[in-house]
Amino acid sequence: MKIETTAVHAGDRKKAGASIPVTTPIYTAASYIYEQTETLDRVFGREIPGDSYARYENPTNRALEELISSLECGHTSLACSSGMMALQFALQAALIDRRKKIVAAQALYGATIRLLHSVFEPMGVECAFVDICNLDEVQAALAEHKPGCVLMETISNPLLRVGQMDKIAEMVREAGAALVVDNTFATPRMVRPLTLGAHLVCHSLTKYLAGHGDVLGGSITCDAGHAEILRQLGRTAGPLLGPFESYLAMRGIKTFPLRFERQCANALRVAEWLGKHPKVGNVYFPALASHPDRQTVERLFPPGYYGAMISFEIRDAKREQIFDFLDRLKLIVRATSLGDVHSMMLYPAMSSHRELAPRQRERLGILDNLVRLSVGIEAVEDIVADLDQALG
């Protein structure tokens, strides 16, 4: 089945009493009873499926998890209260019976870098960082650090680099480690990491999947080998997304392939337009001939899909001119987050990468004149017109 169909149908239409609700209701109950106590005993013992307590499972949350598993071609999913919660639990699940060492891509979402430095390292998990687009460097790091887990993003933030995930997965497997992939920027419409050999894949549902800027959530999807430990961790610590948010995320996901197709098509046109604008310096977008990972992009992504994030530099602009440019935007929303129906502009040096020292940002290629655009579903002419007037 194609993803457009899965997105609309998977997870829904579970029997509830005599009838079948067409869409999944919001179940708010914290506990569940059965006519016979023996049944509850067997549910607690996990001999039969069923609900007992909301920290363990919830029917609304479960429908969303089933939907996400279908989209990502995975065995089991855990819908969590945020993308960051999902990343933390995915890493914990990966490391539970492996060496407590992580090799991570050096280009990661800002809060993910913070998660490694301020949560994992203080717990004694050593973290090493590599250029994930350099296979030799990845191989050398695997040999040197012998990590339990490797962490990467399908499309990196904010420079949109694309690592050779299939080859990395092979190397990671050979080294006996687990590959954890943050697939937020690419979505399962572009790539399904588990089918390329990854062990666990995470999303910030807040972004493309839910897509309307009205719900915070995250997800982990794993292969059969990690299903039990993921469930156990979830049942014990309770990171689950609540029933109201699960409902909103599921409602959003039904239209995700449709929205994302439009966002990707819009982004391609906006990137081409930006490339010709005299006030614009480097444009970072996976479709451009100048993109350093062109071959990987062609190999791993479906034709016409390059994502809907664009980063670009404004020539000779300092922080002050960037602020002026942002203040002139009328349509494009100046806010953090991405993947929403509306276009959004963010200044990485001020927000996502604020906590890195200026020199470290520069080393990563995130200059002070770089802005990041998440292209929405609006008419592309209107997005271009807004950029045009704001660039002046």
Ligand X SMILES: *Cc1c(COP(=O)(O)O)cnc(C)c1O
Q: Residue 74 or 83: which CB sits closer to ligand X?
A: 83
**Residue 112 beta carbon to ligand X: minimum distance, rounded to whole angstroms:** 6
- Beta strand spans in 106-189 (E): 126-130, 149-153, 178-182
Q: Residue 201 or 233: which CB sits closer to ligand X?
A: 201
CA atoms within 13 A on the CB side of 21: 13
Q: What angle do CA 177, 178, 183 make, to 5 degrees?
A: 145
Catalytic residue status for 32: no
**Residue 43 beta carbon to ligand X: minimum distance, rounded to whole angstroms:** 31
Q: Which of 207, 259, 361, 372 is catalytic?
A: 207
Place of tokens 């089918």: 195
**Residue (of 368, 374, 360, 375) closest to 110 by Cα position:** 360
Q: Residue 82 or 221: which CB sits closer to ligand X?
A: 82
Catalytic residue status for 324: no
Q: Residue 111 or 335: which CB sits closer to ligand X?
A: 111
**Quick one: CA dihedral 167, 170, 175, 180, positive or negative?**
positive
In the bound state, the residue with its beta carbon closest to ligand X is 83
Q: Which of 55, 98, 231, 254 is catalytic?
A: 55
Q: Which amino acid is at 244?
A: F
Using CA atoms, how far apart are residues 106 and 85, in angstroms rounded to an integer?
A: 20
The gap from C-alpha 331 to its chain's centroid, in whole angstroms, comes to: 25
**Residue 194 beta carbon to ligand X: minimum distance, rounded to whole angstroms:** 17
Q: Residue 184 or 343: which CB sits closer to ligand X?
A: 184
**Residue 191 beta carbon to ligand X: minimum distance, rounded to whole angstroms:** 14
> If you write DSSP's letter for every residue of 4-21 in order, what string do you get?
HHHHHHTT----BTTB--
Catalytic residue status for 306: no
**Residue 244 beta carbon to ligand X: minimum distance, rounded to whole angstroms:** 16
Q: Which of 56, 109, 208, 247 is catalytic?
A: 109
Catalytic residue status for 12: no
Residue ranges that bind ligand X, judged by CB under 6 A: 82-84, 109, 111-112, 153, 157, 182, 184-185, 204, 206-207, 216, 218
Active site residues: 55, 109, 182, 207
